[in-house]
Amino acid sequence: MAGGEPLFSGISEIIGRRHRISDLDPGSGTFEIQDDDRAVRVVLEPDLLAAYSEQLDEHDIPGLSASPRDAQDRIRVKHITMCIEEIFESDIHSSLLEIRLARAADGRISLSDRRGAPRRSPISTHTETGYWSPDRPDA
C-alpha cells in the first residue's frame, strides 16, 4: 500500500488535467481547485489519505479485489479523484469552500465538504410555469 504523499501526487496530477489547481503542498496534503469564479480548498492529510485508501475495498470499488495487486493503488487514486471532482462539479450554488478527509466517531474515514452561503442561484431554464404533458397541444 502506498503512503500518503505518493497517493496525493497521483490525485493532484489527475485533477490537474481537468481543472486549474494552485497552492499545491504535498507535505501537508493541500491544494486548491479553481474554476472561473471560485477556489475550493482540498485537504488530504497524508496519514488520513493513506488510511482512507487502505479502507477502500470491494464494497466501495466493485472489482477491486480481482485487480492485480500493483494496480489497486492506481484504482484507489482514480476513485478518490472521481469523488473529489464529483463534489466540486456538483456545487451548483457555488457554496463549496472545502473538501477534506475526516474521521468519524466510529473510525471510518470519508470525504466531507464544508459549505458557506450560496453565491449564485440555480440556473433558470426560463420555462413556463405549470405542467407539461405529451398530450398537451402546442400553444
pLDDT for res 117: 81
pLDDT for res 91: 87
pLDDT for res 133: 59
Instruction: Tell me how far apart the alpha carbons of residues 6 and 10 are, in angstroms, rounded to a whole number.
Output: 6
pLDDT for res 128: 59
pLDDT for res 131: 59
Query: Is the Cα dihedral 58, 60, 62, 66 positive or negative?
Result: negative
pLDDT for res 70: 83
The residue extents of the domains of the chain are 4-115
Mean pLDDT of each 10-residue bin along the chain, 139 residues long: 83 95 94 92 95 92 90 94 95 90 94 84 59 59
pLDDT for res 36: 86
In order, the DSSP letters of 61-92 are: STTGGGS-HHHHHHHHHHHHHHHHHHHHHT-T
pLDDT for res 92: 85
Instruction: Tell me how far apart the alpha carbons of residues 88 and 110 are, in angstroms, rounded to a whole number.
Output: 15
